[in-house]
Amino acid sequence: MMPTGWRLTWVLSIALLAMSALVLALAGSGEEGVRMWIRATARSSGTLFLLTFVARPLHTLLRSDPTRWFLKNRRYIGVSVAVSHFLHLIAILWLTNAWPENSAVDPVTLIGGGLGFAFLFAMGLTSSNAAVAALGSNWRRLHRTGAWYVWFIFAITFIPDAGWDLLHVTFVVAFVGAALLRLVVWLRGRRSS
């Protein structure tokens, strides 16, 4: 039986901790091991984020039981994105404190990535009916602006510094495809209204 609701968030969070332990157990806790953990948490965050980003347009198009399940559980998967990226933050702090000589963070990453963390954590912390009621239209503004800003950071950061490989091609194509899907469904919605 597939977990749903906050139980799903717990299951995904435990899976993220298990993934982290496995990566550090296999790659070690040296600089390369911690860098591997940073990449692993970026990839788990990117995958979970994509599921929340396409949940509504996919269900609008397909109206199937799986897409209905994803739409109903979008909030709970969304909070697990914040959990995954909290682990990304811990790994980055470990790297920059243990190997400062090899991990200076340039101002663009600090500001652009820092704002990305702020949006992810703000969206995670306001993932409740109480927050929706308290923030009113600002809730929708935060989550819509935040979702697109985080989409942008993921899409550009998955473009590799060195040569392309299948994993980075897959992530970049998936992120561009997700944006096109939302655009197409939004335009169809406008035309039919």
Q: How many CB atoms lie within 10 A of CB 112?
A: 15
169 lies in the binding site for ligand HEM (CB under 6 A): no
- x/- mask, ligand HEM, residues 86-105, rule CB under 6 A, reads --x---x------------x
CA proximity to 131, closest of 79, 84, 81, 80: 79
Q: Which of 8, 12, 42, 82 binds ligand HEM (CB under 6 A)?
A: 42
- x/- mask, ligand HEM, residues 1-40, rule CB under 6 A, reads ----------------------------------x--xx-
SS3 60: helix
158 lies in the binding site for ligand HEM (CB under 6 A): yes
Q: Which of 28, 114, 177, 189 binds ligand HEM (CB under 6 A)?
A: 114
Encoding tokens for residue 12?
């995904």
The angle formed by the CA atoms of residues 107, 109 and 111, to the nearest 5 degrees, is: 65
Quote the DSSP letter at residue 136. T
User: Smallest distance, Å, CB 142 to ligand HEM?
Assistant: 15
User: Smallest distance, Å, CB 162 to ligand HEM?
Assistant: 10
Indicate the burial class of 181 (C-beta count within 10 angstroms; 0-12, 13-18, 19 or more): middle
Encoding tokens for residue 137?
């239209």
Which residues of the shown chain bind ligand HEM in the complex (CB under 6 A)? Answer: 35, 38-39, 42-43, 46, 88, 92, 105, 109-110, 113-114, 116-117, 150, 153-154, 157-158
